[in-house]
Amino acid sequence: MKYSFHKQHTIAQEVYCSGIGLHSGRVVSLRLKPAAAGYGIRLRRMDLLDFPTIPANFHLVVNTFQATTIGFDGVEISTVEHLMAALYGSGVDNVLVEVGGPEVPIFDGSSAHYLRLIEKTGLRELDAPRNFLAIQKPIVIQDGDAYIKAKPCDRFKVRYQIDYPHPMVGKQEFSWTHENGNFGTDIARARTFGFLKDVQKLQDMGLIRGGSLSNAVVFGENDLLNVDGFRYVDECVRHKILDFFGDLALTGMYVLGDFEVRKGGHALHSKFLHRIMSRPGYAVFRPAAVPAAYLAASAVSVLAGHLAHPMKPI
Ligand SMILES: [Zn+2]
């Protein structure tokens, strides 16, 4: 199956899954439904009266603690970032996501399961050009020793650094350029991670009630609790890139830029998006501007190539 990079896409057919919500600990259902060009990505609460629908847009981010939560009028859906990264990384521009509760399933704590679902059904090309958001001039967002730097680039590149005072994590850095097929291989399988010492505190706050070693990498005082070990030696920093990627998808466009992120997180990612979108000149909307660097990869198989993304701003 071929698809062209400069066109919008939806999924070929409806797909269904269910799994545990990380924070609620409850089983939640999720259905992806094909949508028309320009629809973007929207999430619908199927457990509430009138099925309220929330566009996946950074303007609607209401909470960034431990996960990215979107919502309005008191209706929320949380932990959307791993699903968003899978959609973004596989080239799904338009889809309706029906969710049976206040958060999407966590599965194994990565984007792998969502990616497999999308790959299973495949993509359908729509008769509309894709939209891009290009970083236009250098910008730095800082919060203490954490920062996001961005500069113009004709593709999506990121160098991400983390530094945790734990012997199994420490300083990690990973540089990644999104290109033909490499979201699935390099990033999608990296799981979310946490520290045992924080578990009780978070559970007392009503969070991570569904957390377990089957949906997160968990560190003890000096060791890793998961008996199967890491999926990548630098799995933690790769997961941070997954989160960053999923949060950027909330622009509704395919972002082109060269990013350097240190000690980022959902809050800093969100702050960065608000900054570049609210100040003129930092980012420019380029409808259907297919960067030359991507043209060579404009006809790749869906299974082999998780390029692209976009959603129209709503
Ligand atoms: Zn995450």
Res 314 pLDDT > 70 = no
pLDDT over threshold 90, residue 6: no
Please tell me the distance between residue 92's alpha carbon and the centre of ligand 1 in angstroms: 19
Distance 217 CA to ligand 1 centre (A): 11
Q: Check whether 85 has a pLDDT greater than 60.
A: yes
Q: Which of 101, 129, 157 is the C-terminal boundary of a domain?
A: 129
Residues 136 and 116 in one domain: no
Clarify whether residues 122 and 265 are in a common domain.
no
29 C-beta neighbours (distance < 10 Å), count: 16
Residue 124 falls inside a structural domain? yes
Pair 59, 203 in one domain: no
Q: 215: helix, coil or strand?
A: coil
- Predicted confidence (pLDDT) per residue in 221-278, tens digit: 999 999 999 999 999 999 999 999 999 999 989 999 999 999 999 999 999 999 998 8
Angle at which helix 81-89 crosses helix 235-248, to 10 degrees, equals 80
Distances (CA, A) of 207 to 25, 79, 200, 210, 221: 9, 11, 9, 8, 21
- Structural domain for 295, as ranges: 132-301
Residues 108 and 146 in one domain: no
**Residue 239 and residue 143 share a domain:** yes
Instruction: Examine the pLDDT at 298 and tell me if it is beyond 60.
Output: no
Q: Which residues pair with 75 in a beta bridge?
A: 72
Q: Count up the domains in the chain and report the number.
A: 2
One domain, residues 32 and 109:
yes
- Beta-ladder partners of 300: 3
Give residue 2's pLDDT.
54
Give the end of a domain, one of 112, 129, 146: 129
The domain spanning residue 19 has which CATH number?
A: 3.30.230.20
Regarding beta strands 254-262 and 156-164, do their DSSP bridges make them parallel or antiparallel, or are they unpaired?
Answer: parallel
| Residue 295 DSSP class | H
Residue 308 predicted with pLDDT over 70: no
* Residues 124 and 138 occupy one common structural domain: no
What is d(CA 153, CA 165) in angstroms, rounded to the nearest whole number?
Answer: 33
Active site residue 82: no
Query: If you measure from the C-alpha of residue 111 to the centroid of ligand 1, how many angstroms do you get, rounded to a whole number?
Result: 9
Query: In angstroms, rounded to a whole number, what is the distance separating the alpha carbons of residues 2 and 31?
Result: 24
Cα angle, residue 57 at apex, residues 136 and 61 outer, rounded to 5°:
110
pLDDT score at 4:
73
Mean pLDDT of the chain: 87
Residue 204 has pLDDT above 50, yes or no: yes
DSSP state of 237: H
Distance from residue 98's CA to the centre of ligand 1 (Å) = 20
Phi, psi of 107 (to 5 degrees): 50, -125
DSSP 8-state secondary structure symbol assigned to residue 302: T
Which of 99, 129, 159 is a domain's end point? 129
Place of tokens 């071929």: 2
Confidence bin at 69 (pLDDT 50/70/90): very high
Instruction: Compute the average pLDDT of residues 119-132.
Output: 93
DSSP states along 19-34: EEBTTT--EEEEEEEE
Q: In angstroms, what is the span from residue 77 Cα to ligand 1's centroid?
A: 15
Average pLDDT rounded to a whole number, residues 296-313: 30
Which residues lie closer than 8 Å to 41 by C-beta, 6 or more apart?
Answer: 55, 56, 84, 87, 92, 93, 94, 95, 97, 249, 252, 311
Same domain, 121 and 220: no
**pLDDT for the residue numbered 288:** 52
The residue ranking higher by pLDDT, 312 or 25, is 25
CA dist., res. 232 & res. 303, Å (int)? 21
Q: 9-63: per-residue pLDDT in tens?
A: 999 999 999 999 988 889 999 999 999 999 999 999 999 999 999 999 999 998 8
CATH number, domain of 207, equals 3.30.1700.10
User: Would residue 306 count as lying in a domain?
Assistant: no
Over residues 158-175, the mean pLDDT reads: 95
Q: Are residues 72 and 206 in the same domain?
A: no
* Active-site residue, selected from the candidate residues 266, 269, 306, 309: 266
Q: Based on the domain organization, do 48 and 185 belong to the same domain?
A: no
| pLDDT for the residue 3 | 63
